[in-house]
Amino acid sequence: MRSKLTSVLTVVTALSLGCAAAFAQAPKYGIINMQEALLSTKDGQKAVAELKAKFTPKEQEFQKRQTELQQKQDEYRKGENTMSDDKKAAMARDIDSLTKNLQRDTDDARQDVDQEQQRVLNELGSKMMTVLQKFAVDKGYTMIFDVSGQPNNILFASNTIEITRDIIALYDASAPSAPSTPLVKPTPNATAAPKPPATTAAPSTPARRPATPPATK
What confidence tens digit (pLDDT) does each residue in 8-57 have? 334 333 444 444 444 456 888 999 999 899 989 999 999 999 999 999 99
- Sequence-ordered strand ranges (E) for 56-185: 143-146
Calculate the CA 176 to chain-centre distance. 26
HSE-CB for 213 with a 13 A CA cutoff = 23
Q: What percent of the chain has pLDDT over 70?
A: 69
Calculate the CA 123 to chain-centre distance. 15
**Cβ count within 10 A of residue 113:** 20
Q: Buried (b) or exposed (e) across 85-102, using 16+ Cβ within 10 A?
A: eeebbebbeebbebbeeb
Residue 64 Ramachandran class (φ > 0 left, ψ -120 to 50 alpha, else beta) = alpha
Q: What is the pLDDT of residue 176?
A: 54
Calculate the CA 118 to chain-centre distance. 9
| pLDDT one-digit tens code per residue, 176-217 | 554 444 434 444 343 333 343 344 334 333 344 444 444 443
Mean pLDDT of the chain: 75
- pTM value is 0.56
Q: What is the pLDDT of residue 65?
A: 94
